[in-house]
Structure 1
Amino acid sequence: MYSREESQRIKREFWVAFAEKYPRKWVLYDTKIKDFSFKFYVDNKKAQVLIDIEHRSDEKRNAYFEKIEALKNILEEEFIKDLVFEKNYTLESGKTISRIWVEKPGVGFSNRNN
């Protein structure tokens, strides 16, 4: 088990290496798409890339989700096969969002080969 400082250092090194390997902006900056979040999550067991649709109106949230879901075949054929589409995903806070994500198990911060 790593100390808190060591864990923070390893995470920082991971994100610096990630940014160097994939040198582009990985934020939905200035897209004019309100209530969309593009997120990365990595721990010592898995890595995830997530698109969260967090509109307050369930009707609009579902409409946005359905527009992306309509592209599912193209996304799977051209980019990645293991996308998970969840129209009603409940966060730990109890908030319901829509989420499109992919997960790669068996990778993590502590393994530098990842």
Structure 2
Amino acid sequence: MVGAACPDCGRFADRVHDRYQRRLKDLPLAEQGFVIRLMVRRFICGSADCPRRTFAEPFSRLAAPYARFTTRLNGDDDGYLWADTAEVRRTEEAARAWEAVRPQLP
């Protein structure tokens, strides 16, 4: 089991205090809403002089603290996914164009 660094003192902690489920809305998948259910661990900071007793493990690349939406859904991902999204959009436009020009079958 891997731990995390305390955000206040920086000391590495691997003692788990609690777990909770976090729900994050993400980009749609196949035109359906997509929710990530993430199990988050709370760690105990072992430093006696640290003002923070417990802290949650960070998922900074997935979502900001207290956020209910992923960074991809918010558009804060520096565009690494948008190339794929643009390709999907072009494919959908081509399919609509084909529907408009294809011969009507009896």
- Taking structure 2 as the reference length, the TM-score comes to 0.23
Say which one has the larger Rg. Answer: 2
- Larger helix fraction of residues: 1
